[in-house]
Amino acid sequence: ETKTPRATCRRPDPDSTDLASMTYSLRKRILVTGGAGFLGSHLCQRLLAEGHDVICVDNFFTGTKDNIAQLLDNPYFELMRHDVTFPLYLEVDEIYNLACPASPIHYQFDPVQTTKTSVHGAINMLGLAKRLKAKIFQASTSEVYGDPTIHPQPESYWGNVNPNGPRSCYDEGKRCAETLFFDYRRQHGLRVKLARIFNTYGPRMHPNDGRVVSNFIVQALRGEPITLYGNGTQTRSFCYVDDLIEGFIRLMDSPDALAGPINLGNPGEFTMIELAETIRDLTGSQSPLVHEALPTDDPRQRQPDIALARSALDWEPRVALREGLKPTIDYFEQLLRLG
Ligand code: NAD
Ligand code: UDP
Ligand code: UDP
């Protein structure tokens, strides 16, 4: 399978007078909110590699300077400490709105701020996009489906979400952001792009956010017991970060008529026992598998339906779980070595 070719925008040779320098006009100024986070830092890196100017806005709640340290020397990269719940005045061509804590431990730390980030953050970034007539991408989530009653979930499924539980600040915040994106589109003709992201893993994910991939890798590397919640037969589908970022860019570059929402994730489904054994194998760890209580409302299964992404973006994940786990394990190994 081959990827659809995309226009590349290489930086022009300053001495060149030929047509190649016209590619210069393809260079865009792109704002990435939440750019110092896990996904945001990979997106900034990819956009810079394509020759764009990138402005990363982050309040460093869950993001770190370490995530973008290797970008700071790049003159086409700018870092701005700013909280998206406050207005932001900049001049850019495109906006990727990723700012929001993403794991339960982080988003439940200050749930009111989580809702503000999703809702006020969306209003401010949409206001900015409206003033600039800029195209704007929203990082939505599979959590908008809540505790789904159908599997796998197509984009047309409206979800099954508790409006006032401990997860609601995230789920309902993201759902309200979706409402705002589509109302700015209907009311103001904004060009919007909305991706519903499923579980993603890779280097720079948080070591302490309690998610299964980071937990298992850290436990395996430390030789500690690997904690399987419940009997470990529940399944999840994990997308490698590079595949996901390719999906972001394809969606952003797609025709204006395609606003989404569009599911992005890897449909390959694994039980938690399979995940634990793969990680134990790849790390050469002797860690035993132990069973702990299954959290309440833990979904039995989660798998994205990516038929729309396949047909509309010609996109599907390419990195198999074993392959993606290798650089992720390398990352955690280095992190643990540095203490
Ligand atoms: P992350 O926590 O690593 O990144 C979020 C970034 O947003 C952090 O750098 C954080 O400091 C920043 N941030 C938070 N609140 C902010 C605010 N008010 N103002 C400015 N910056 C703020 O999480 P991630 O996994 O990279 O997730 C990025 C986006 O993708 C989030 O919107 C998340 O909801 C969405 N998403 C991620 C996943 C996943 O599997 N990682 C799945 C579904 C959706
Ligand atoms: N906004 C912003 N940057 C801009 C333009 C607007 O942060 O460049 C914010 C502004 O604070 C406003 C929000 O975006 O509260 C929504 O803007 P919009 O124009 O939709 O609404 P209004 O200004 O009429 O409230
Ligand atoms: N899980 C586990 N051990 C852990 C952490 C998580 O068995 O140390 C299980 C968890 O019960 C769930 C799955 O792994 O069934 C995925 O959990 P995670 O919190 O990563 O993501 P989500 O439930 O949001 O998909």
Pocket test for ligand 1, best of 100, 125, 138 (most atoms within 8 A of CB): 100
- Interface confidence, given as ipTM, is 0.98
Partnered with residue 135 across adjacent β-strands are: 94
pLDDT of 226 over the 90 cut: yes
Signed CA dihedral, 142, 146, 150, 154: sign only: negative
Atom of ligand 2 nearest to the CA of 184: 20
pLDDT score of 25: 58
Is 82 near ligand 2, meaning CB less than 6 Å away? no
Mean pLDDT across the chain: 93
The contacts of residue 304 (CB under 8 Å, 6+ apart) are 142, 152, 153, 198, 237, 263, 264, 265, 266, 267
- H-helix segments, 50-110: 65-68, 104-107
Is 258 near ligand 2, meaning CB less than 6 Å away? no
Bridging pattern class, strands 192-197 and 135-141: parallel
Which strand (E) or helix (H) includes residue 80?
strand 77-81
pLDDT of 172 over the 50 cut: yes
Are the CB atoms for 56 and 80 separated by under 8 Å?
yes
Are the CB atoms for 195 and 245 separated by under 8 Å?
no
Cα distance between residue 81 and residue 57, in whole Å: 6
CA 10 to the chain's CA centroid: 25
pLDDT score of 18: 54
pLDDT tens digits, residue range 309-338? 999 999 999 999 999 999 999 999 999 998
Which strand (E) or helix (H) includes residue 170?
helix 168-188
Is 130 near ligand 2, meaning CB less than 6 Å away? yes
Q: Give the mean model confidence (pLDDT) for residues 255-270.
A: 97
Which strand (E) or helix (H) includes residue 79?
strand 77-81
Query: Any idea which residue has 């909110």 for tokens?
Result: 33
pLDDT tens digits, residue range 109-160? 999 999 999 999 999 999 999 999 999 999 999 999 998 899 899 999 999 9
- Distance (angstroms) between ligand 3 centre and the Cα of 320 equals 19
The contacts of residue 319 (CB under 8 Å, 6+ apart) are 240, 242, 243
Q: Give the mean model confidence (pLDDT) for residues 81-89.
A: 98
Atom of ligand 2 nearest to the CA of 86: 7
Q: Which of 82-96, 213-227, 288-302 has the lowest mean pLDDT?
A: 288-302
Signed CA dihedral, 101, 104, 109, 111: sign only: positive
pLDDT of 8 over the 50 cut: no
Catalytic (active-site) positions: 170
Q: Give the mean model confidence (pLDDT) for residues 164-177.
A: 96
pLDDT score of 296: 79
Cα distance between residue 255 and residue 141, in whole Å: 22
- Distance (angstroms) between ligand 3 centre and the Cα of 312 equals 31
Tokens, residue 224? 């500690």
Q: Give the mean model confidence (pLDDT) for residues 290-318.
A: 92
The contacts of residue 19 (CB under 8 Å, 6+ apart) are none
- Distance (angstroms) between ligand 2 centre and the Cα of 88 equals 8
Question: Would you place residue 299 in the very low, low, confident or very high pLDDT band (cuts 50, 70, 90)?
Answer: confident
- Distance (angstroms) between ligand 1 centre and the Cα of 313 equals 24
Cα distance between residue 295 and residue 291, in whole Å: 12
pLDDT of 2 over the 70 cut: no
CA 140 to the chain's CA centroid: 9
Tokens, residue 53? 């100017």
Bridging pattern class, strands 269-271 and 235-237: antiparallel
Partnered with residue 97 across adjacent β-strands are: 33, 138
